[in-house]
């Protein structure tokens, strides 16, 4: 399945064997050993990953234990010698204090003796060693407890802070000072009067983020839901970070807590009758609120995701597939960093891209007829920070990953364009063994896969892979670089309809930001002020590149330093390309100068670097330069890898381009893949590896009929580079077919190349072209002079007055302007050469 859950902790494997061993040891091997422990269940997962659990011993006493995720050892915390039902429990960072709340027993008509008349008892217990017990609350409503875990290096801390959440809809923070007595014994100072703060009141929903030490809660003001967030700091302070209006009805939803441990009061089988709400964040500065109202239909389900960092919400309506069968579990939202997984066991599975949620095609939507849906856990799961997932019912803690192997297989097998797009981005975002993943995708691309009608598969792969290769290096690259070649998507997603609406942005209540809050505020500012489109597109260098190419042809150059910097950038890219592979490449790329492509890649590096410098002002210039070089190098390396894979697959090696035999099917396949690469690069104006055009043209001439070759040349699919044409002139013999090809190519060459190429073709036609160019150059500034009627006929091989007169004029021009009209590389072209070419041409025309 697409979601891979790796068990980090299992009560049945990590705790139960130890308890059985202890009981066997205590019984001396003679007493019966129970197969299970009464009430063994998970209670809490603390910030450091340690897990608090509880069970009842054979006397009915409540026992608290801790599983250390680092040492993978179990530790006994405390035994409460009463038969009570545990509501909540938390242990402080130093493992010196335990807070727990109980539902007092009514067994056999007896109430708890500690606080008669109360329903829930909340205790603070000294456990290093076990000593005093203080009653924090004894009230008729449920209470949940949670110690704060400040991220500090100092150990141990002189104080602990405890959150107390009451069903009466208030949250308090207790400040607990401790002291050390008689060595290592830890006791609570002034336990009779613990200072406390009222954190929140009149809330209807709350969620705890144990990793970032944040508290989210919702207040109802004038029948409107207001989401608030409190950030707790290591110095015992806290701040209200933001307020955000939520357009969701919570008036009659009751009281709900998320991530405060296992809620044994909630009947897990009745979850479908209650709304589901959770807040997800990521290190990129995203803030999402996922909401699903209580179900009112067995045929479809509606849920909403509020992308606050983007300024809009999306409401999804999904078909449930198995119509008529009742729902026994609620919807599950899981935070997977760049994605949010939404699924209903056995019905549907959605992977929502929260970093790039604009287009539906970047998210994966699967319905109940998919194997992926049926393989997901049937128990309700709770998402914790750090891609952790807890199954309270079975007592298991998982680490969730996207299953790369499954997604690759799905990518290969699916026929839907939207699913191909989504699966491709899911795979590339995983970030593990990226080179291996890319190689597998390239192998798939090289196969004759069904065409994508909605997007260019190679183009999308190149753009997305290059984006993800540099994305971890800086924040906000999603709005500075292209992450997809597709900008609009109007096709329907099977089984899903969605509606997008603008939403009010959170109002930040602080003015100094660090870490996550700085990134979130930057995202909100970007949305608020509707900044122009900032994503880099290489078309910005098109005119500059064309100007440089024109200067190259005319010999006129602007600043030498500017051009040298551009070529230095290109040289660094080529060096990166050569360093990315240990074995020599089989495909003959990077073996020629290819000045136009070097200029284009150098310009792209320069322009991209300037673009990033403008918008990443807090980053070092060297890091940005390295990022620009890495990005351009990655684009070109992917193109080389696609061609190299195809080359190896067809085992071309040295047998390539033997013009004395027909083209093979392997050569035709490679030509086809090169044409696809060219098309992918062309619309985005991306550079190509030096030598690409030469190889592509030679393959095209070898594989295509003459009329197709000329059509490709005229439409600039095949580019006549000097290297390619030179090889054609040398390798092709002068059969009638090849003469037509050579002439058709020569007449399409620009003059600067045509002069050189004609010298390589020993043929009357090439002599004719050379002569015409020579005459044109000599006569371009010629002024007619009075005619001298005396011509020395003895100096001409044939008596033909017009030709004799014309050659005499050329001879005079050559002699008077010898230095001006010397053509570099064509020192044997003169009037005599022109005369000979003219006579040969006339002879051919007359059929003599």
Which residue is listed with tokens 């890319």?
A: 438
- Exposure on the CB side of residue 727, measured as CA atoms within 13 A: 15
109 confidence band (pLDDT: 50, 70, 90) = very low
Say what the pLDDT of residue 840 is: 67
Q: Which residues contact 834 (CB under 8 A, 6 or more apart)?
A: 771, 774, 775, 807, 810
Which residue is listed with tokens 């209807």?
A: 204
Are 644 and 650 spatial neighbours (Cβ–Cβ below 8 Å)? no
Instruction: Please give the Cα distance from 47 to 214 (Å, whole number).
Output: 11
Are 756 and 832 spatial neighbours (Cβ–Cβ below 8 Å)? no
Instruction: Please give the Cα distance from 42 to 54 (Å, whole number).
Output: 7
Eight-state DSSP code of residue 478: G
CA 769 → CA 5, 748, 752, 776, 809, distances in Å? 72, 12, 13, 11, 19
Q: In terms of Cα–Cα distance, which of 461, 361, 451 is closest to 415? A: 451
175 confidence band (pLDDT: 50, 70, 90) = very high
Instruction: Please give the Cα distance from 645 to 642 (Å, whole number).
Output: 5
Lowest-pLDDT choice from 74-88, 434-448, 731-745, 761-775: 761-775
Percent of the chain with pLDDT over 90: 44
Say what the pLDDT of residue 433 is: 73
Q: In terms of Cα–Cα distance, which of 479, 485, 561 is closest to 525? A: 479
Which residue is listed with tokens 């960093």?
A: 337
Say what the pLDDT of residue 513 is: 87
pLDDT at 479 exceeding the cut of 70: yes
Say what the pLDDT of residue 763 is: 63
Q: How far is CA 74 from the centre of its chain?
A: 39
Lowest-pLDDT choice from 437-441, 702-706, 835-839: 835-839
Say how many C-beta atoms besides its own lie within 10 A of residue 150's C-beta: 17
pTM of the model: 0.85
317 confidence band (pLDDT: 50, 70, 90) = very high
Q: What DSSP assignment string belongs to 619-649? A: S-HHHHHHHHHHHHHHHHHHHHHHHHHHHHH
**Long-range contacts formed by 656-659: CB under 8 A, 24+ apart:** 656/588, 656/699, 657/698, 657/699, 657/702, 657/731, 659/702, 659/731, 659/732
Give the pLDDT confidence of 275-309 residue by residue, as tens digits: 889 999 999 999 999 999 887 767 788 999 999 99
pLDDT at 324 exceeding the cut of 60: no
Mean pLDDT of 588-599: 86
231: left (phi over 0), alpha (psi -120 to 50) or beta: beta
**Looking at per-residue confidence, does 347 or 267 come out higher?**
347
Say how many C-beta atoms besides its own lie within 10 A of residue 434's C-beta: 14
pLDDT at 117 exceeding the cut of 80: no
pLDDT at 761 exceeding the cut of 70: no
Residue 500: strand pairing partners:
314
Q: What is the four-CA torsion angle of 539, 545, 546, 552, rounded to 10 degrees?
A: -170
Residues 810, 813, 817, 821, CA torsion sign: negative
Q: Which residues contact 148 (CB under 8 A, 6 or more apart)?
A: 160, 161, 162, 163, 173, 213, 232
- Could you give the 3-state DSSP secondary structure of residue 269? helix
- Listed in sequence order, the DSSP H helices in 297-433 are 371-374, 404-413, 417-429
Render the burial of 227-259: b for 16+ CB within 10 Å, e for the rest. Answer: bbbbbbeeeeebeebbebebebebeebeebbbb
Instruction: Please give the Cα distance from 285 to 518 (Å, whole number).
Output: 8
Mean pLDDT, the chain, whole residue set? 83
Are 257 and 165 spatial neighbours (Cβ–Cβ below 8 Å)? yes
Q: Could you tell me the strand order of the sheet in which 238-246 lies?
A: 256-258, 203-209, 214-221, 224-232, 238-246, 507-508
Beta strand 256-258 with 203-209: parallel, antiparallel or unpaired?
A: parallel
Instruction: Please give the Cα distance from 595 to 790 (Å, whole number).
Output: 52
Give the pLDDT confidence of 369-405 residue by residue, as tens digits: 555 555 666 777 899 988 899 998 889 999 998 888 8
Say what the pLDDT of residue 97 is: 95
Eight-state DSSP code of residue 541: G
Mean pLDDT of 207-225: 91
pLDDT at 715 exceeding the cut of 80: yes
pLDDT at 31 exceeding the cut of 50: no
Mean pLDDT of 156-171: 89
Say what the pLDDT of residue 262 is: 78
- Listed in sequence order, the DSSP H helices in 471-594 are 516-528, 542-554, 560-579
Burial of 167 (0-12, 13-18, 19+ CB in 10 A): middle
Say what the pLDDT of residue 726 is: 84
Instruction: Please give the Cα distance from 85 to 230 (Å, whole number).
Output: 30
């Amino acid at each position: 399945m697409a979601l891979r859950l790796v068990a980090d902790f299992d009560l049945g494997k990590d705790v139960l064997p130890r308890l059985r061993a202890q009981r066997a040891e205590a019984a001396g091997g003679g007493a019966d050993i129970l197969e299970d422990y009464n009430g063994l269940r998970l209670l809490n997962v603390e910030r450091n990953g340690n897990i608090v659990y509880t069970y009842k011993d054979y006397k009915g006493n409540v026992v608290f234990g801790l599983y250390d995720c680092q040492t993978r050892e179990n530790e006994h915390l405390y035994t409460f010698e009463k038969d009570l039902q545990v509501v909540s429990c938390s242990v402080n960072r130093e493992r010196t204090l335990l807070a727990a709340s109980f539902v007092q027993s009514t067994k056999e008509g007896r109430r708890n003796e500690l606080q008669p008349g109360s329903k829930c008892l909340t205790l603070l217990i000294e456990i290093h060693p076990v000593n005093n017990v203080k009653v924090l609350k004894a009230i008729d409503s449920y209470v949940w407890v949670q110690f704060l875990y400040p991220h500090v290096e100092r150990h141990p801390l002189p104080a602990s802070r405890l959150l107390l959440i009451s069903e009466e809809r208030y949250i308090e923070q207790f400040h607990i000072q401790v002291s050390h007595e008689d060595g290592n014994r830890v006791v609570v100072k002034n336990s009779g009067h613990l200072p406390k703060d009222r954190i929140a009141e009149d809330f209807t929903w709350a969620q705890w983020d144990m990793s970032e030490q944040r508290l989210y809660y919702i207040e109802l003001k004038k029948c409107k839901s207001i989401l608030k967030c409190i950030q707790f700091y290591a110095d015992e302070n806290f701040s209200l970070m933001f307020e955000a209006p939520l357009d969701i009805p919570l008036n009659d939803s009751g009281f709900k807590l998320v991530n405060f441990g296992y809620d044994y009061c909630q009947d897990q089988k009745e979850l479908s009758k209650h709304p589901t709400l959770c807040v997800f964040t990521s290190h990129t500065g995203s803030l999402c609120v996922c909401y699903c109202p209580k179900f009112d239909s067995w045929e479809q389900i509606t849920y909403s995701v509020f992308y606050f960092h983007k300024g809009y919400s999306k409401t999804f309506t999904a078909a449930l597939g198995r119509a008529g069968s009742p729902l026994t579990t609620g919807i599950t939202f899981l935070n997977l960093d760049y994605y949010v997984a939404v699924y209903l066991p056995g019905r549907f599975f959605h992977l929502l891209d929260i970093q790039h949620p604009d287009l539906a095609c970047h998210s994966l939507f699967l319905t109940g007829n998919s194997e992926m849906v049926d393989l997901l856990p049937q128990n309700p799961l709770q998402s914790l920070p750090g891609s952790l997932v807890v199954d309270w019912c079975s007592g298991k803690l998982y680490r969730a990953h996207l299953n790369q192997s499954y997604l690759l297989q799905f990518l290969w097998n699916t026929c839907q364009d939207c699913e191909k797009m989504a699966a491709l981005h899911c795979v590339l975002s995983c970030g593990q063994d990226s080179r291996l993943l890319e190689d597998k995708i390239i192998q798939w691309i090289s196969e004759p896969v069904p065409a994508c009608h909605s997007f260019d598969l190679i183009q999308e792969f190149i753009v997305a892979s290059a984006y993800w290769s540099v994305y971890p290096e800086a924040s906000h690259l999603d709005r500075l670089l292209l992450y997809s070649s597709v900008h609009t998507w109007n096709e329907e997603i099977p089984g899903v309809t969605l509606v997008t609406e603008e939403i009010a942005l959170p109002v930040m209540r602080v003015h100094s930001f660090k870490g996550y809050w700085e990134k979130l505020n930057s995202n909100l500012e970007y949305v608020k002020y509707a900044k122009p489109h900032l994503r880099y597109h290489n078309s910005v260098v098109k005119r500059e590149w064309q100007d440089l190419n024109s200067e190259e042809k005319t010999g006129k150059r602007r600043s030498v330093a500017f051009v040298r910097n551009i070529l230095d950038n290109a040289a660094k890219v080529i060096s990166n390309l050569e360093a990315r592979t240990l074995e020599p490449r089989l495909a003959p790329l990077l073996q020629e100068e290819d000045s136009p492509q070097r200029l284009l890649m150098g310009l792209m590096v320069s322009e991209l670097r300037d673009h990033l410098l403008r918008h990443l002002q807090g980053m070092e210039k060297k890091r940005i330069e390295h990022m620009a070089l890495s990005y351009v190098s990655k684009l070109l390396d992917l193109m080389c890898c696609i061609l190299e894979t195809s080359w190896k697959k067809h085992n071309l090696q040295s047998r390539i381009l033997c013009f004395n035999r027909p083209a093979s099917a392997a050569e035709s396949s490679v030509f086809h893949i090169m044409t696809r690469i060219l098309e992918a690069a062309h619309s985005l104006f991306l550079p190509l590896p030096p030598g690409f055009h030469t190889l592509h043209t030679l393959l095209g001439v070898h594989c295509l009929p003459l009329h197709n070759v000329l059509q490709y040349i005229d439409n600039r699919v095949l580019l006549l580079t000097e290297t390619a044409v030179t090889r054609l002139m040398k390798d092709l013999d002068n059969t009638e077919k090849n003469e037509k090809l050579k002439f058709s190519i020569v007449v399409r060459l620009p003059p600067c190349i045509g002069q050189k190429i004609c010298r390589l073709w020993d043929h009357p036609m090439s002599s004719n072209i050379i002569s015409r160019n020579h005459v044109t150059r000599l006569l371009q500034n010629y002024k007619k002079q009075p005619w001298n009627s005396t011509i020395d006929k003895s100096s001409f091989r044939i008596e033909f007055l017009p030709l004799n007169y014309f050659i005499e004029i050329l001879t005079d021009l050559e002699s008077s302007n010898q230095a001006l009209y010397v053509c570099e590389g064509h020192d044997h072209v003169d009037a005599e050469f022109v005369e000979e070419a003219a006579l040969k041409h006339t002879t051919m025309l007359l059929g003599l």
